[in-house]
Every structure is written in C-alpha cells, then in structure tokens.
Amino acid sequence: MNKKSIAVDMDNVLVDIEVNWIEAYEEAFGVRIAREAMLGIPEDQAFPDPAAAWSLLYKPGFFRNAPVIAGAQEAILKLQEHFDIYIVSAAMEFPNSLLEKYDWLNEHFPSIHWRNIVLCGDKSVIHTDYLIDDHLKNLDHTRAEPILFSASHNAGIDKHRRVNSWAEVLEFFETEIAG
C-alpha cells in the first residue's frame, strides 16, 4: 500500500521564525520585543516599526540562519517511517529565500530528499493527504486534511484541528496509523 502523504510548512512549523525575527530586529534596530507581543496579530505588527521589520525578510541570511522548532527533527524522522513527507513552503514571495531554504533543509533535515521539497506560492495546487501549517490562507483552501500548527499570530483561532507542538503532531498521527 502506498504511504499517505503529509505536507509540512516551514516558517513557524519547522523554522522558529518568531525568535529569528525578534533577534534580527534587535540586531538591526536595537529594540527587543517580547514574543508575547505577537499574540493574535501578524508578526510584523508586533514590532515598533512594522515596515522595518518586514524589510528584514529580504536580508541575505535571514532564513538560512533561523533556528529549528523544538522536536521537529526527531518527529520528522519518525513520521517518515509511515508517511511520505513533503516540505511545502510559500517561499516564492521572497526569492532570496529560495536557496537559503533549500540549504537550511539540507543542514537540519538531511533525510528530506530534493524530490520532496516544494517551494511555491499559492498552496492550493498541492495535493497531499495532510497539511500541517500555521496559516489559514493555506489551510482553508487545501484538498488535504488541514492541521493548524500553533503560532503566536494564530492564537485564539478556533478553526481546523490544532496542534501545539511536534509532540502533539506525533500523538495525532499515532492514532491515525492505529486507526
């Protein structure tokens, strides 16, 4: 039997983009915001100067040097035993990030083959069995079973199955495998 497939988003799911953004802003502008400032609003709005924060996304190295979300590496290895894992990132808005994201995956997730990496724009043309993502714009229109990965910006949203950590992702898929 073919394995079922899971599409896994990068930013806020594999990549701790919140911490990365906070640190990049502090380094560039000397102001450190608290992570809690991002609760329930788009990340850039949490900074004193949202346009300045946004400009950091275009800086070389921003995506390449971001830290991994806790538990993601071990969880992906476990999931690969039972599922085809595709990494699907809406990277096309930031063309400078394309090679950085590829290199980042190679460093932190060497078990992901290039055949299983998708850098795209609109994710509605991606067809997998599941999609783990932090953005409603991706989850609302997917053909996959949507799984909302908690990030500060999506706090309080009561839509789709929510997972708060990679431990919860594994818990969910263990019941899927058993069922």
Residue 32 half-sphere exposure, CB side, CA atoms within 13 Å?
5
Binding mask 3-42 for its own copies (x = CB under 8 A): --x-x-----------------------------------
Q: Which amino acid is at 66?
A: A
Nearer to its own copies, 48 or 95 (CB): 95
Of 8-16, 38-46, 57-65, 92-100, the window that binds its own copies (rule: CB under 8 A) is 92-100
Of 26-34, 56-64, 68-76, 93-101, the window that binds its own copies (rule: CB under 8 A) is 93-101
Burial string for 3-39 (b: 16+ CB within 10 Å, else e) reads eebbbbbbbbbbbbbbebbbebbeeeeeeebeeeebe
Q: Please identify which residue in 30, 36, 51, 93 interacts with its own copies, judged by CB under 8 A.
A: 93
Q: Please identify which residue in 27, 121, 155, 159 interacts with its own copies, judged by CB under 8 A.
A: 121
Parallel, antiparallel, or unpaired: how do β-strands 117-119 and 83-89 relate?
parallel
Contact yes or no for 150/164 (Cβ under 8 A): yes
Chain residues in the site for its own copies (CB under 8 A):
5, 7, 86, 88, 92-93, 95-96, 98-99, 102-103, 113-122, 125-128, 143
